[in-house]
Structure 1
Amino acid sequence: MRVGQVIAAISALALGVWVSLPVAAQQASHPLTLNDIYGPGAVKLDEPIPSKWLGAGDAYTTVEASASTPGAVDIVRYDTATGKRSVLVDARLLLPVGGATPLAISDYAWAPGGRYLMLFVRAPSARRNNPIGDYWLLDLTSHTLRQLGAKAPAQSLLYAEFSPDGARVAYLSGNNLYVEASDRADVRQLTSDASDHILNGRSDVVYEEEFRLGKAYQWSPDSRRIAYWQFDTEGVGTFYMMRNTDTLYSKPIPQQYPLPGTTNSAVRIGVVGVEAPGTTWFALDGDPRQNYVPRIGWAGNSAEVLIQHENRLQNTNHVMIGDAATGATRQIFLDQDKAWLMPTDEVQWMQGGRSFTWLSERDGWRHLYLVSRDGAKVDLRTPGDFDVVSIERIDEKAGQVYFIASPDNVTQRYLYRAALTGPAKIERLTPANSPGSNDYRIAPGGRWAFHTVSRFDAPPVIDVVSLPAHRSTRVMVRNEAMRAAVAATPHAAPEFFKVDVGGGTQLDAWMIKPPSFDPAKKYPLLVYVYSEPAGQTVSDRWGGDRYLWHLMLAQQGYLVASVDSRGAASPRGRDWRKSIYRQIGLLASADQAAAVKAMIAARPYIDPARIGVWGWSGGGAMTLNAMFRYPDLYKTGIAVASPANQRLYNSIYQERYMGLPDDNAQGYADGSPINFAQNLKGNLLIVQGTGDDNVHYQNLEQLADRLISYNKQFSMMAYPDRTHGISEKPNTRLHLFTMMTDYLHQHLPAGDAK
């Protein structure tokens, strides 16, 4: 794969989009085919350019195909205001000494000050949350290129990061933490106690998945110290995945994976000096295997660390300050909830370290607060009956916070700004002519942003906008080919609506109808589900290959719909999201069934004898719950990568929403679809990758075993060595969706009925 292809693939994954539609679709109107969406002739979305702000944002860099070196890329600088272009790093500088092939860079980073450029080459064996590979450092003064960690095994480094002064780079190799000088190959090992069970500066698999913590270390502001996590995974249960495709004998792949109620990693936090290695450990109360440290950060200086220390139930967050010299800690703030809490990423120190920002649901909505250093004063800065979806930038100098929210339509996303001091004042910055889902990467100076906007059936457009006026100065990515392709294939506009399921509860939903829809006829309905607390399906955002597959099915005569049940991750307030606490799988599946019944009653063109359901991951579990709990309603289901038994998923996720198994044994049993397999009446296809390191293949085998015990007929497909996304190796996606489409055609016949 060439450099540009690597960058495009990684960038597309980051945006959640997939390749789609052949060029032929742009030239004449014709219904979609599976080859159009997943085949080798499919055209890609335009490359989302991996752009980086320079300085305060007056300029930025991108990666572009090189004119001087075929198959390679230049790093190009653009003046933000004028668009003036210049080649900042010629591709010829990215040739390793003695090499003829330019580096196939996956990402890059600028050192503070701009003298050094760090390049990342992702290893083919890297997992989705574990970006292992090689790092190279280019000195733009001497034009020399060298590999970092040159004595380490090839493709073995993780999470390299410049120090704040740019003089060093920290990285991980062999579960130990190292620093290397930027101007010479001077390597210093900061930890030396790593093993297969001791991980320094990197997280275990469940922190990585559920707390989004991969790089587990933080440079101090003065570049003299590093605070880091250490994970002791000794005693954590080991799950073995089996590889059977590449050797004569099967090869076990071990993964230490704590299940609900079992032994977790022991986690501690320490600080190590760069000049004088030796770790000072912080004093934290309680059993380190029964508590979590999901976040740390320097506390507005280089002498103290802010530590978020959560109990195992994840409903109490003890916010502490630790002394980096002595390890002593003191609690300064407490956040609690009767259900669960999420750790706060939006901590920024203000007023010279006298206060910090904090995101909390303490008033029933997710809002930003300004908290005094002693925790005595908590000041709400984004008041209102709406959720702050994310914080995009906190600008203390201007006294403003930029955030994403959508007070009037939870399926969309817009940029707002609020004052950090004085009377609360909130204003929307995204203009009315930019409906849908808007995402921003705001420059450090706050005057510019990379802006991405898409709609349910309209692919992303990326431009550079000025703030706060939101004037577009340059379109970076148009996706004109995709836009033309969608326009050229028959389709009706999606319908967004609400479904009343009684008791004053209205659920958000969308529906795609056949292009030649006739309300006098009857059609099969396929419901796309997720409705776990980790996601939202009813969103006015480009849906990638899922949207195109659903559109293809609509062209073939299906109605396709999706509904967000109570508990889905919609910005509808704390009570909405946490209504499903300790009853995952119960309330949401009841909401889904009630929504389908309400749609059947209100829409006579839905054929009640042809109701199908499908979903992936948590949506696969919801599919199983639909088929087993409401067997007279749903006739056909396709469950992909499904956690069939809540006791088989990881401890952090499952305990967060269900509590501990010893305290909620009945809830775990009632919420697990495997325990209702005896009720299956309809047609069920279950699909899993045997190399799934998130929802293990064990789920499929235990469910299949249970169905067999009840003499329930079903279909199943195992994808050898594929992981949770079932996308590795040639033609996998085409094969998967061909099988799924054929299954629907056979068991939920397409087309209308008089």
Structure 2
Amino acid sequence: MKGFLILILTAIFQIASFCVAYSQSELRLEDIFANGTYNQNRFGPIRWMKDSKGYSSIETNAEVGGDDMVIYDARTGRRSVLVSAQDLIRVGASSPLKIADYEWSEDNTKLLIFTNTRKVWRYHTRGDYWVMDVATKTLQQLGKGLPSSSLMFTKFSPDATKVAYVSEHNIFVETLADGKIVQLTYDGSDVIINGTFDWVYEEELNCRDGFRWSPDGESIAYWRSDAKDVGTFYLINNIDSIYSKPIPLPYPKVGEKLSSVKIGVVSASGGDTRWFDFPGDPQNNYLARMEFIPESREIMVQQLNRRQNTNTVWVGDVDSMGLVKILEDTDEAFLDIHDNIQWLDNNNYFTWTSERDGWLHLYKVSRDGSSSTLITKGDFDVVRISHIDPTGGYVYFIASPENYTQRYLYRSPLTKPGKAERITPAEYPGQHAYQISPDSRYAIQTFQNVDTPPLYSVVSLPNHRLLRVLEDNRELKEKFTALRLNPKEFFKVDIGEVVLDAFMIKPQDFDSSKKYPLLFYVYGEPAGATVQDSWQNGDLWHHYIAQLGYVVISIDNRGTRTPRGRDWRKSIYGQIGILASEDQHKAAQKIFATYDFIDSDRVGMWGWSGGGQMTLNCMFRYPEVYKTGIAIAFVSDQRLYDATYQERYMGLLEDNAWGYREGSPLHHAENLQGDLLIMHGTADDNVHYQSFEMLVDKLIKHNKMFSMMSYPMRAHGINERENTSLHLRETMTKFLLEKLPSGGR
């Protein structure tokens, strides 16, 4: 009897163990999009200290319930608490300040803490700021008397005796010793924007912080935008009140008026602003970048024309207000703005990024623009500048000459052209990023690939010796491995004119003798790429779809943001949605001919934003191929999108009316034959719900049957409010299973 009981208990234990193992290996939508089961750990934010001997970070203090500011010795890893959570408890408060972000003063004696943040469109750029004197642990709130959580982009003066910030579109300077606040601008309003930017500058030119301290701390140069002539688009909130509430959004659509932007200089102690007089209509040019030249009273400004094919660089004297043109970069298609300017050789030279030789490279340019020398030489693109070290004589940068899906650290000498030296060891294939110390001796390395969640380490340079691991996301890696998923396979697709990069995920029970439905995932726009050897949160959504019995494939067509040279990226100029959908169609045909296990009668496509637009273009242009589609947050008519993005890649509407019409899926909706699901958030400030409704209207006009799902008061990411992400993915899954039958046959 006792032995029988032991057998029963053993069997129960084995069954329980099997169930636990099974539950750990089962991929569920709830775990991906609701339960946080596969959330990754991060480390930081990290700031290198001025002496390069250590770096600071934020770590949770479980005892107090807040954040500690800690310092690590880069060489030894020795940890010390510089500011404890206890130090961040204000007088009269029961809990410490929560650190959303922080900045050091130049001398590392003061700490600027950003907390209680609020989102401005997509990013948390508004909130409260506090300053701590590290030596005395004195905590001081900034902006007293101004509206709560209204401060933006607070910055120390060069000597750290003052700070400047924006509140309600006006600029203020506060003296730390006595808390005295001086208001520098007074005309800030809903349409007059001082020290920050309107929607389109933020979204498309990556401009947010709109003022700069002069090196001597005596002046502030700033942008002023007048949006009174910009058309207003109204988002409508129908769910938070019994009456609808319109939300006005100044938003320049294609061909419409832009904000009138200018740059002025004002004394940090107050007074009148003096304005630079840049040539050209301020409503038809962009003042895209502005920085002070070190140790000077001069600013460098990059001015883009409206077509965004000419970048004129000016030097402006803040005393005389005179302007001198020193450089002009042009392209037959379009130019991107690059933030890689570093002043060298006693500020007589600066670094400049250009595609003038067909590849994206770094150049050394004289202060007057008369001479230019190539620094990063070779048939490859510089993906990102990681660090420029004038003392050591090198520029460190990310590139990938052999594999466009991966990223590695290289360096080249600043003084003479030479072959780029690879720093990242070959045994770590994937994508790497580096936060390098000021003296270039150490770096915080982030490594990832399709099977490896981000791994944060400290390495020494240039030998790339591992000193310690900061965060390895081991638990997440173990969960991912336990799922026993088929690996994401990278492959090439030769469509004749060019060879495209692609990836494929097969079902877990894949049988090559059977035919499986194919779901293409597409983006296809010049703002990004999908075929990357990076973690991408494990790409668990696509693994889940493959688990249901689909082959998932993604292809980067020409024009996507990959390091394949100028001609690759500029090939789509004037034909967004046209060339890309042709590439996708040709690649699909090649895949059908290559892989016998693909069922060409069961082919679908899905995409978000630009990928939603591409899905519609492919379904409407090639209905015989794409039988099922899901388009999310898409642009149906390119004239509806913002002027800065669309005109950069399509040219002006007056010059390319045909391209705008031909590249817009709205004008091909009558060709729909397959099953289509369209989804959109009604509060999308980026791609307006208008795009969705116009397509619905056109499909109805042509008597086309389709499915639709609106998400009220959700923005472009459709992730606000309770349960949204899970509901969206459940809706997609249900549609695919109904319209694109799964499984091998």
TM-score class normalised by the smaller sequence: over 0.9
In structure 2, the CA distance between the partners of 1:452 and 1:246, relative to structure 1 (3 Å rule), is same
8 Å CA contact retained: 1:443, 1:449: yes
In structure 2, the CA distance between the partners of 1:747 and 1:365, relative to structure 1 (3 Å rule), is same
Calculate the TM-score normalised by the size of structure 2: 0.96
- 1:499-538 to structure 2, matched below 5 A, reads 499-503=493-497, 505-538=498-531
* 2:93 alignment partner in structure 1: 99
- 1:711-726 to structure 2, matched below 5 A, reads 711-726=703-718
CA displacement at 1:560 relative to structure 2: 0.5
In structure 2, C-alpha distance between the alignment counterparts of 1:640 and 1:197, rounded to whole Å: 31
In structure 1, C-alpha distance between the alignment counterparts of 2:369 and 2:119, rounded to whole Å: 45
* 1:60 alignment partner in structure 2: 55
* 1:33 alignment partner in structure 2: 28
* 1:252 alignment partner in structure 2: 246
Greater Rg over alpha carbons, structure: 2
* 2:542 alignment partner in structure 1: 550
Equivalent residue of 1:656, what SS?
Answer: helix
* 2:666 alignment partner in structure 1: 674
Equivalent residue of 1:655, what SS?
Answer: helix
* 1:593 alignment partner in structure 2: 585
- 1:69-88 to structure 2, matched below 5 A, reads 69=64, 71-88=65-82
8 Å CA contact retained: 2:197, 2:225: yes
Match of 1:312 among 306, 312, 317: 306
Equivalent residue of 1:123, what SS?
Answer: strand
Equivalent residue of 2:567, what SS?
Answer: helix
Match of 1:116 among 110, 120, 127: 110
In structure 2, C-alpha distance between the alignment counterparts of 1:147 and 1:202, rounded to whole Å: 22
- Per chain length, whose mean CA-contact separation is higher, i.e. which structure has more relative contact order (CA < 8 Å, sep 6+)? 1
* 1:211 alignment partner in structure 2: 205
* 1:643 alignment partner in structure 2: 635
CA displacement at 1:299 relative to structure 2: 2.3
Q: In the alignment, is residue 703 of structure 1 matched against residue 695 of structure 2? A: yes
> In the alignment, residue 523 of structure 1 is paired with which amino acid?
Y
> In the alignment, residue 56 of structure 2 is paired with which amino acid?
T
1:594-618 CA distance string (max 9 Å, x none): 1111001100100001111011110
In structure 1, C-alpha distance between the alignment counterparts of 2:467 and 2:256, rounded to whole Å: 54
Equivalent residue of 1:109, what SS?
Answer: strand
> In the alignment, residue 483 of structure 1 is paired with which amino acid?
K
CA displacement at 1:223 relative to structure 2: 2.0
8 Å CA contact retained: 1:258, 1:650: yes
Match of 2:477 among 473, 477, 483: 483
* 1:199 alignment partner in structure 2: 193
- 1:205-284 to structure 2, matched below 5 A, reads 205-284=199-278
Equivalent residue of 1:409, what SS?
Answer: coil
CA displacement at 1:116 relative to structure 2: 1.6
Match of 1:137 among 106, 131, 136: 131
> In the alignment, residue 688 of structure 1 is paired with which amino acid?
H
In structure 1, C-alpha distance between the alignment counterparts of 2:742 and 2:20, rounded to whole Å: 23
CA displacement at 1:349 relative to structure 2: 1.2
Calculate the TM-score normalised by the size of structure 1: 0.95
CA displacement at 1:165 relative to structure 2: 1.9
8 Å CA contact retained: 2:46, 2:56: yes
> In the alignment, residue 472 of structure 2 is paired with which amino acid?
R
1:390-447 CA distance string (max 9 Å, x none): 1111111111101000000010000000001124242000111221000111122211
> In the alignment, residue 301 of structure 1 is paired with which amino acid?
E
CA displacement at 1:337 relative to structure 2: 0.3
8 Å CA contact retained: 1:129, 1:214: no
In structure 2, C-alpha distance between the alignment counterparts of 1:681 and 1:352, rounded to whole Å: 66
8 Å CA contact retained: 2:376, 2:417: no
Gaps of 5+ in 2: 1-18
CA displacement at 1:108 relative to structure 2: 1.3
Match of 1:339 among 333, 337, 341: 333
8 Å CA contact retained: 1:28, 1:488: no
CA displacement at 1:130 relative to structure 2: 5.2
> In the alignment, residue 386 of structure 1 is paired with which amino acid?
F
- 1:282-321 to structure 2, matched below 5 A, reads 282-321=276-315
8 Å CA contact retained: 1:47, 1:477: yes
In structure 2, C-alpha distance between the alignment counterparts of 1:557 and 1:423, rounded to whole Å: 53
8 Å CA contact retained: 2:83, 2:137: no
Equivalent residue of 1:353, what SS?
Answer: coil
* 2:342 alignment partner in structure 1: 348
> In the alignment, residue 519 of structure 1 is paired with which amino acid?
S
Q: Which is further off, 468-477 or 199-208?
A: 468-477
* 2:573 alignment partner in structure 1: 581
8 Å CA contact retained: 1:460, 1:478: yes
8 Å CA contact retained: 1:25, 1:488: no
CA displacement at 1:515 relative to structure 2: 2.1
1:692-745 CA distance string (max 9 Å, x none): 111111110111111111111111111111111111112111111111111111
In structure 2, C-alpha distance between the alignment counterparts of 1:26 and 1:370, rounded to whole Å: 58
* 1:605 alignment partner in structure 2: 597
In structure 1, C-alpha distance between the alignment counterparts of 2:445 and 2:47, rounded to whole Å: 13
Equivalent residue of 2:733, what SS?
Answer: helix
CA displacement at 1:587 relative to structure 2: 0.2
8 Å CA contact retained: 2:404, 2:563: yes
* 1:380 alignment partner in structure 2: 374
CA displacement at 1:552 relative to structure 2: 1.1
Equivalent residue of 2:440, what SS?
Answer: coil
Equivalent residue of 1:317, what SS?
Answer: strand
> In the alignment, residue 665 of structure 1 is paired with which amino acid?
A
Match of 1:468 among 459, 462, 466: 462
In structure 2, the CA distance between the partners of 1:125 and 1:652, relative to structure 1 (3 Å rule), is closer
* 2:16 alignment partner in structure 1: none
Q: In the alignment, is residue 408 of structure 1 matched against residue 384 of structure 2? A: no
Q: In the alignment, is residue 447 of structure 1 matched against residue 441 of structure 2? A: yes
In structure 2, C-alpha distance between the alignment counterparts of 1:649 and 1:282, rounded to whole Å: 31
Q: Which is further off, 513-522 or 197-206?
A: 513-522
* 2:561 alignment partner in structure 1: 569
CA displacement at 1:93 relative to structure 2: 1.3
Equivalent residue of 2:620, what SS?
Answer: helix
8 Å CA contact retained: 2:25, 2:482: yes
In structure 2, the CA distance between the partners of 1:192 and 1:25, relative to structure 1 (3 Å rule), is farther
In structure 2, the CA distance between the partners of 1:125 and 1:684, relative to structure 1 (3 Å rule), is same
1:256-303 CA distance string (max 9 Å, x none): 000111000001111122134332211200100011111111123331
Equivalent residue of 1:740, what SS?
Answer: helix
* 1:19 alignment partner in structure 2: none
In structure 2, C-alpha distance between the alignment counterparts of 1:135 and 1:653, rounded to whole Å: 33
* 2:15 alignment partner in structure 1: none
In structure 1, C-alpha distance between the alignment counterparts of 2:615 and 2:116, rounded to whole Å: 35
In structure 2, C-alpha distance between the alignment counterparts of 1:25 and 1:162, rounded to whole Å: 54
In structure 1, C-alpha distance between the alignment counterparts of 2:543 and 2:111, rounded to whole Å: 43
> In the alignment, residue 168 of structure 2 is paired with which amino acid?
G
CA displacement at 1:119 relative to structure 2: 1.1
Aligned residues with identical type, % of pairs: 50
8 Å CA contact retained: 1:117, 1:140: yes
Q: Which is further off, 328-337 or 420-429?
A: 420-429
8 Å CA contact retained: 1:49, 1:476: no
In structure 1, C-alpha distance between the alignment counterparts of 2:294 and 2:144, rounded to whole Å: 34
> In the alignment, residue 708 of structure 1 is paired with which amino acid?
I
> In the alignment, residue 152 of structure 2 is paired with which amino acid?
L
In structure 2, the CA distance between the partners of 1:220 and 1:682, relative to structure 1 (3 Å rule), is same
Equivalent residue of 1:745, what SS?
Answer: helix
Equivalent residue of 1:487, what SS?
Answer: helix
What is the number of residues matched between the two proteins? 727
